Structure 1
Amino acid sequence: MTDASLPYLTPRFAHADAPSLPLYVVASDALADLAGQIGPEAAAWLTVTGFKGDLGEVRLLPGAGGALVGAVAGFGTPKARRRLRFGLVKAVAALPAGAWRIEGGLSRAERAEVALGWLLTQYRFGRYRSAKEGGLALLACPDGVDAARMIAMARGEFLTRDLINTPAQDMGPGELEAAFADLGGRFGAAVTVVRGDDLLAQGFPMVHAVGRASPRAPRIMEMRWGSAGPALTLVGKGVCFDTGGLNLKPSSGMNLMKKDMGGAATVMGLAQMIMELGLAVRLRVIVPAVENVVAGNALKPKDILTSRKGLTVEVNDTDAEGRLILGDALAWAGEEPCDLLVSMATLTGAARVAVGPDLAPYYCDDAGIVAALEAGAVAGCDPVWRLPFHDAYEAVIEPGIADLDNAPGFGFAGSITAALFLRRFADHPRYAHFDIYGHTPSDAPGRPKGAVGQGARALLHALPAMLGL
């Protein structure tokens, strides 16, 4: 097992002075133009081997005496590139270790996508593996691409993946707090934590109620960084494991629940990007961290909680606990002014049914924020999709016996009703909520099976427009 410090790996480009081999990138409709770059013999070699220029297809180029002199990678068709994000970096697996440089007429945006995707392919979760990885094919940062920004985005993503991938035995509330404190310490941020029964004394009753049954004490953590600029507050759901509580999940529903702190992991990854890049913001990060387990003192169905905001909540499903802890956290966030409030959570299965695992649905009523996020999603290769705060469903979350219902028996629009629940606590005109999944079901270019960040890069690219940076 490796050292448990996070992140476990550091993404990197090839050293600028390192000798590199050319990787010629060619679209499938431009093969005829390639001979002028690689020479007629190499072009004939491609023809003989049946190279078609499909997206991510690779041919190594032999030189005199069989020496490797370069490679050709297919860039496919525009349709193929739209269908497979980071598709070109499928080529990385076929390249020998060493330094490579991109040759070909890619646009600046395409070079940036290739650079980011190449960095993301370096991720491995090796904490529990004895086998050692071999050498890597490293990319020389392409011309016109900001290497520091690419590295910062990849490092933030690696942190998010490491946190989510770590099993609950080693990533409970205490370990998440340690990672949170380590992140703050690396950038000189101030970190405060409220734990256990102190949550009741300091006004976080719903965080306490959800986490009190675990021997690993619940807590709420706050990080502050930056002294000038607009105020940005990030809130992330930190349910380190979710059994469902007394409304116990079946085993199939529990298998991925180490990822139920994916919202916390994602805002921490985004915070690392922001701090590493030195953005001119006053950053505040809030993470409530709990385990939702079964014990004699566990939260019970039909219990009624009085939240930090004063709103009462009838608990109609102890497996809808994430919105409870976020309610207290968002209320705390709203007690001081900020220019933008964002929450991120692995909140509902309904969101997955609606948009699948690849898209991060989000909710926001501010047209400027929406426009910035749509552009940021394209620039960051980080797809998001807007869903509505549909006001007509407000009545669904009002049970009559209390102000709010944490799990209405409506049977429809589960992600929307959860977002409406959170909006009652956020109560901020510039609020965006992301209902993320945090998991890739199968290997994809730049996204190995397992944990993945969603929405963070879109937000990072959108911040200048959203906050006037």
Structure 2
Amino acid sequence: MTSSHRFTFASPTTDTRALHVVKADDLTAFLSGPGAGWAGWLRATGFEAGLGDCRVLPDASGGVAAAVVGLGTAQARRRLRFGLAKAVAALPAGDWALTGDLTGPEKTEAALGWLLAGYRFDRYRPGRKVADRPLLVCPEGVDAARLIAMAEGEALTRDLINTPAQDLGPEELEGALMGLADRFGAKARAICGEALLDQNFPMIHAVGRASPRAPRLLDLRWGTDGPALTLVGKGVCFDTGGLNLKPSSGMNLMKKDMGGAATVLGLAQMIMALKLPLRLRVLIPAVENVVAGNALKPKDILTSRKGLTVEVNDTDAEGRLVLADALALACEEDTDLLISMATLTGAARVAVGPDLAPFYTDDADLAAALEAGAIAGCDPAWRMPLHDAYETVIEPGIADLDNAPGFGFAGSITAALFLRRFVDARRYIHFDIYGHTPTDQPARPKGGVGQGARALLCALPAMLKLEAA
């Protein structure tokens, strides 16, 4: 599976119309200056330059001459990303160019939001008519190729998360990875079913063995020069909770439990499309966590690829088990940066909500680069503490580690500490993402969403000291 979405910017022509962007503080100046000819119309329609508030401006014959969209107040812009993307639904088809006093970051956010607002998930509504959408001329000074790569990688992530488990199991996730490998000339392999035991991935096998859709470890490599980057994504294509069965309310969104895998695939696509000068490896443990007679049982003790033993105190804490084997594999060769991404804990949502991507790292320089990348990529992230005092919580006594300690607190932190036990790489970042937008937002419709990928893309030059990116 590869995303069919293709994003583009318009080329300026004589038919390109102006889209005036006006901050709330500058409305009076606009109405007495560039917008003087439409001042009466705009006042009569209640235009106050609120963030995303858009008006089409008529010409003398009643046709469309231009349009104006509000950029709101500074406070409104802090509260809502991609507010200008509201204009995409309000404007008629055609080519539009932004005019107004915009900073470089504001131009980038506007252009990226415009592209992302063009995403639609219509796989299950093939007969639905979609109106032609307005196209934007890429603002001066904005890297169009970079934003298109971001939008297309994000579309792949959203498509994968939005697809129901009936059509996206471990085999189909493998197909998505193989599709990327074919498109960008990467090398890829899959280790499936009983071969996981033969090649020492016991915890991936244990979690996925109850499903008729065989578990597998997916491995993609791309690039021959530059620093080494390894991405590991949780690929639990559906999570019933196993024998510790989830209630129906907790199971409804579990098609998104492969959101970590979807996000690293989207990021990998961005990296390869932009031809970043690095060596990329992507590892995805792809499984379904379902119920059958041979399902993993509470209190089972597993021996991991790394040799650490794990007491299974909750079969619904399966994501960290499959990630552990993949992280151990990743650390069997040198890598300059290791990143894991997973829809791992509900505790992370309680801590930061659905809009922030919490991340963990012991490296202050990596954290600083990522925080800057989050701003540049309009992709908010928040550093969480790897609090060493909680290490004893994940040690059950009967085995080396406990996959679901009964501590009752700090669930996202203890999960990150669990994963860190399987990491030997010096530079490591773990993301505990949500992968879902619960309500429609500008440029982010309700449903699957990538978190952290754009922040990482923007941070990689600093993290890996890339010569050109």
Using the size of structure 2 for normalisation, the TM-score is: 0.98
Report the alpha carbon displacement of residue 41 of structure 1 after superposing the two structures with TM: 2.4
4+ aligned runs moved over 6 Å, structure 1: none
Aligned to 1:314, which of 311, 315, 335? 311
Which one of the candidate residues 229, 239, 244 is aligned to 1:232? Answer: 229
> How many residues end up aligned between the 2 structures?
465
Match of 1:141 among 129, 138, 159: 138
Picking from 13, 16, 22, the partner of 2:18 is 22
Q: Alpha-carbon deviation of 1:272?
A: 0.3
Displacement of 1:18 in angstroms is: 7.2
* Cα offsets for 1:199-221 (capped at 9, x unmatched): 00001000000000000000001
After superposition, residues 182-221 of structure 1 pair within 5 angstroms as 182-221=179-218
| Residue range with higher mean Cα deviation, 16-25 or 47-56 | 16-25
Mapped partners of 2:47, 2:220: distance in 1: 52
Question: 2:370 corresponds to which residue?
Answer: 373
Aligned residue identity for 2:88:
V
The answer to whether structure 1 residue 154 and structure 2 residue 154 are counterparts is no
My pick for the range that moved more, 87-96 or 99-108, is 87-96
What's 1:43 paired with? 39
| 1:300 to 2:297 alignment | yes
SS in structure 2 of the partner of residue 235 of structure 1? strand
Cα distance change, pair 382–18 in 1 and its aligned pair in 2 (3 A): farther
Asked if the contact 1:8/1:162 (under 8 Å) is kept, the reply is: no
Q: Which residue of 1 aligns with 2:346?
A: 349
Q: Distance in 2 between matches of 1:151 and 1:394?
A: 42
One-letter amino acid of the structure 2 residue matched with residue 97 of structure 1:
A
Contact 2:334 2:425 in 1 (8 A): no
1:9-28 superposed Cα distances (whole Å, 9 cap, x missing partner): 21222234472111000011
Aligned partners of 2:226 and 2:263: how far apart in 1?
A: 23
8 Å contact from structure 1 (residues 58, 73) kept in 2: yes
CA drift at 1:312? 0.2
Alignment-derived partner of residue 79 in structure 1: 75
- 2:89 partner letter: A
Percent of aligned pairs with the same residue? Answer: 71
Distance 1:375-1:168 versus aligned 2 partners, 3 A rule: same
Contact 1:8 1:127 in 2 (8 A): no
For residues 70-469 of structure 1, the aligned pairs below 5 Å read 70-129=66-125, 130-469=127-466
1:88, distance to aligned residue in structure 2 (A)? 1.6
Answer whether contact 2:51 2:76 (CA < 8 A) is retained: yes
Say whether the 8 Å CA contact 1:361–1:387 is kept in structure 2: yes
**Paired amino acid for 1:250:** P
Q: Distance in 2 between matches of 1:40 and 1:246?
A: 68
**Conserved? CA contact 1:211–1:290, under 8 Å:** yes
Q: How does the TM-score come out when normalised to structure 1?
A: 0.98
Give the secondary structure class of the aligned counterpart of 1:290. strand
CA shift digits 1:52-84 (9 cap, x unpaired):
111111111011110100111011000000000
More moved, 225-234 vs 45-54: 45-54
Q: Which moved more, 1:420-429 or 1:451-460?
A: 420-429
On the 8 A contact 2:30/2:36 being kept in 1, the answer is no
Deviations 1:182-237 (A, max 9, x none): 01110000001100000000010000000000000000010000000000000000
In the alignment, the residues of structure 2 paired with residue 22 and residue 283 of structure 1 have an alpha-carbon distance, to the nearest angstrom, of 42
- State the superposition RMSD in angstroms: 1.0
Residue 35 of structure 1, CA deviation: 3.6
CA distance in 2, matches of 1:163, 1:264: 9
Deviation (angstroms), 1:93? 1.2
Do 1:382 and 1:458's aligned partners in 2 also have CA atoms closer than 8 Å?
A: yes
**AA in 1 matched with 2:64:** L
* Residue 44 of structure 1, CA deviation: 2.1
SS in 2 for 1:71: strand
2:28 matches 1:32: yes
- Residue type at the aligned position of 2:366: I
Which letter maps to 1:269? G
Measured in 1, the distance between the counterparts of 2:122 and 2:422 equals 39
CA distance in 2, matches of 1:9, 1:465: 30
In structure 2, relative to structure 1, the CA distance for the partners of 1:135 and 1:228 (3 Å cut) is same
1:157-206 per-residue CA deviation (whole Å, 9 max, x = no partner) reads 00000000000000000000001100111000000110000000001000
CA distance in 1, matches of 2:35, 2:349: 49
**Unaligned segments of structure 1, at least 5 residues:** none
In structure 2, C-alpha distance between the alignment counterparts of 1:329 and 1:408, rounded to whole Å: 22
How many angstroms apart in 2 are the aligned matches of 1:39 and 1:109? 24
DSSP 3-state at the match of 2:68: strand
Mapped to 2, the partners of 1:200 and 1:389 lie a distance apart of: 32
